[in-house]
Amino acid sequence: MNFLEKFKLVDTFIFDVDGVLTNGELLIQPDGALLRKMFVKDGYALQHAIKQGYKVAIISGGKPLGVEQRLAGLGIQDMFYNAKNKKEIYLDYVENNKLDPEGIVFMGDDIPDYELMRLVGIPACPNDAAIEIQEIAQYVSPFNGGQGCVRDIIEKVLRLHGRWMD
């Protein structure tokens, strides 16, 4: 099966947060609050995928309150934070939703994503992901984390299905 045929099987997107949906930088305020930066075009693609009937989930090792509010505002309901074992959360999510792993894209960027990436149909990563992650990714976006890599993968899949401009 060629790569584009694999993209045609996708019905579910799962993303890490820091380094994928954000650029991975943290601005630390004097009170200890952490600020992150997200890309508005990634947000458009996320909400559009949901409107088109795709499942979108978040599995993150952190729990960034502002990010959680932003993603909920885009329509994402399946969000798993403080994930100490991303693989276990993923396996439960697949079982509870009766998903075929071949139809899942997971985009991660660093070592905590490694084991989960080995379980999905299309492991993907941003251009600036850790080298170990790039080595196992089937798709490396030409865009960095927090700078369009999420839109890139969603747009590719939706265009293949003829659902990008709907």
Helices 40-51/149-160 angle, 10° precision: 30
Q: 41 lies in a domain?
A: yes
pLDDT value at 92 more than 80: yes
- What pLDDT score was predicted for residue 12? 98
We report the CATH number of the domain holding residue 156 as 3.40.50.1000
Average the pLDDT over 103-110 and give the result: 98
Structurally, how many domains does the chain consist of? 1
Average per-residue pLDDT for the chain: 94
Q: 165 lies in a domain?
A: no
Average the pLDDT over 107-118 and give the result: 97
Average the pLDDT over 92-108 and give the result: 97
Res. 1 pLDDT band, cuts 50 70 90: low
Strand order in the sheet with 78-80: 78-80, 55-59, 12-15, 104-107, 122-125, 139-140
Model pTM score: 0.95
Q: 166 lies in a domain?
A: no
Nearest CA among 14, 12, 69 for reference residue 38: 69
What is the SS3 assignment for 44? helix
Res. 43 pLDDT band, cuts 50 70 90: very high
Give the domain extent around 113.
Answer: 3-160
